Structure 1
């Protein structure tokens, strides 16, 4: 078992690193805004279609378009993080979500879709910024906890949106109902404006120690790093061209870990979005549940993610190994499609188990990235590669599952697709975790 690596050169020094509760608070208030804006329209799709004349394809774009943009706009997010730093990118993210939310709640169908596209680009910036902030500002042993809080907050935001938007729309109309979530975004923006200013003040008052103040740090790969000189940019090692670098250029081991994590996240994202999209319909068709009952049962899949998100840090600390939580979440993921295939009458149990798996799987993948990246540039580029692949697959799998259902006349084929995706998560994640722990 390798020992915990020392903080790498581009982590903040102990004198400059902010208190962990403030970092977690910033991550949580940001994460609350990284999925809720996408989920909000799903609660009022009927009124939106009736008012804007959106057809079924257009209504699907309200959730599918942001996921596609996650994949396509990731290089832009990586470039901006290297150029402006993660705090500025977070401010751009929240400002974009705020603007997109307002735009989406006004005007005809094309304006609704334009606002949705703005939200997708903005959230992509936040998706890439969070792993960089965690790697830089969170102590090594607390990485899984911070990533768990990030994952849990996204699911909490999704559930609050699902619970509140529809009743609010009945009272004030769908436009005001989805626009109301801009208040949450505004709160996050105010927090990060204050927090960024405070960080700049701390940096001015206590400059980074020079290279003579600290011994070279050791990365997760056992590579010796030269401390960053005072005043140097944490991402100064990144190429100046603005192109997205390959993951871990010059570090074959890191590059291989990122490839394996990309496979794992393709399975994770594909299984999550296919299940989220079709589980209510599956329960209605296969078990004869009414729309309300199937929706309530499917919501357990979202709520249980909180258990998985905070379960991974506990498992990591107790087992002292990254592969253990990945293995546990992989098994739970595989149980979901197998359970629905072999014993569909226990659908409540399978929904809860699958929810724990999806929350924990996300946390495990991005905890590994934050642990093995040596620089901010590595954390950003590695996260970008993983998310690009994962969200491209997430764009494809819901319509593919729907096509399989339509052509086969049942849910066996879509569930087999989810099973293949969960096996991908388990295989890629386990290999990446074992490689990340292997001594150089």
Structure 2
């Protein structure tokens, strides 16, 4: 850990970091449950409604390089503060009650989350290097917890307060995170702040081993992100079509894909702390991910099991990828650059995933076919490549 912090300050930093993490996915998953209400109230076209859900992921892809430059200039602490303030501003603007405000607010919160995506792993690499697996797991689990909270509670809140207050109300989480992070910044040693800003500036040289690892993780995270956003977008419809569930039941059957990610996020660091080889952990995570498309194709009767296993796997693979970056990066600046490269590539692929899977489904739908075999095979292929790259990334480091 960072030697510039006392034990109490480190625990406070961790608590503040997790409060920030609670805001890095929750705003994205609060909208889909009430998007119909929003569309009706604002008279949105289908294209505009689609933008409200796709713009944040596009921000992840397009704004990660500028976010990395901002991180280099401001340092991790100020960048995280910018992130949570941006999320709060975006949530409030999105709920203002007009189409321009909804679109602008979505872009603002997407930009804020992008800065957080880049800055938080750098804080973990700098301040929790010796415990990076556990802290990355807690970070990933907390993001998924935020997703579960907003997915579950936004509709009941909207029934009482209306969709505008239901969406804006989640800004309370950002207010709490902003206050906590401000306190954490005051407890930061000046030397630590300078390390984050000065050594993080410019374009750090990764060195050949880290450059190779970064390239491998680009492919792995692209597969992870593509599969995650494709499945998140289409799993309820797949369950509706293949199993004959009504849409409400299909949504409930898909919920473990998000909820079980919390278990996977904690299981990976626990296994690593018990000295289970990272390669073995990677293999198990990849097999669990692969079970969803394979099971849906060969044994759809056990869909509940496949959904739960894949949910745990998507949380675990995210944790493992960012743990490897934190542990292997030779410096904070190198961690920042590697994280930016990996996230830019991965989220660019993720932004295409729902559209690509939908297009494949449309093209393969015909007499006697529900059109979902080809999309599931595509996800299976993507995850197979991801699994192979994870095995390469987790090879034992010599020397």
What residue is the counterpart of 1:191 in the other structure? 180
Among residues 371, 378, 387, which one is paired with 1:426 in the alignment? 387
CA RMSD of aligned residues (A): 1.7
> What CA deviation, in whole Å up to 9, does each residue of 1:148-203 have, x standing for no partner?
0011111110010011101111111111110000111101011001111122xxx2
1:403 aligned to 2:393? no
- Residues 1:249 and 2:205 aligned together: yes
CA distance in 2, matches of 1:106, 1:27: 28
1:307 aligned counterpart, secondary structure: helix
Q: Partner of 2:250 in structure 1?
A: 294
Going from structure 1 to structure 2, the CA distance change for 1:235 and 1:189 (only over 3 Å counts) comes to closer
Structure 1, gaps ≥5 residues long: 1-10, 209-230
Q: Which residue of 1 is the match for residue 95 of structure 2? A: 105
1:258-407 → structure 2 map (5 Å cutoff): 258-407=214-363
Paired with 2:374 and 2:326, the residues of 1 have a C-alpha distance of 36
CA drift at 1:61: 1.5
Residues 234 and 375, structure 1, Cα contact 8 Å, conserved in 2: no
User: What is the TM-score of this pair, normalised by structure 2?
Assistant: 0.95
Rg bigger for which structure? 1
- Select between 248-257 and 129-138 the one with higher mean Cα deviation: 248-257
Does structure 2 retain, via aligned residues, the 8 Å contact 1:38–1:62? no
Distance 1:239 1:148, change over 3 A: closer
Shift of 1:49: 0.6
Q: Distance in 2 between matches of 1:43 and 1:420?
A: 30
CA 1:75–1:108: 2 relative to 1, 3 Å = same
Partner Cα distance (2:112, 2:8) in 1: 25
Contact persistence 2:199–2:332 (CA under 8 A): no
Structure 1 runs of 4+ with >6 Å offset: none
- Alignment match of 1:34 (pick from 9, 16, 24): 24
Which structure carries more helix by proportion? 2
Q: TM-score normalised to the size of structure 1?
A: 0.86
Query: C-alpha distance in 2, partners of 1:287/1:267?
Result: 26
Q: 1:250 to 1:77 in 2, by over 3 A?
A: closer
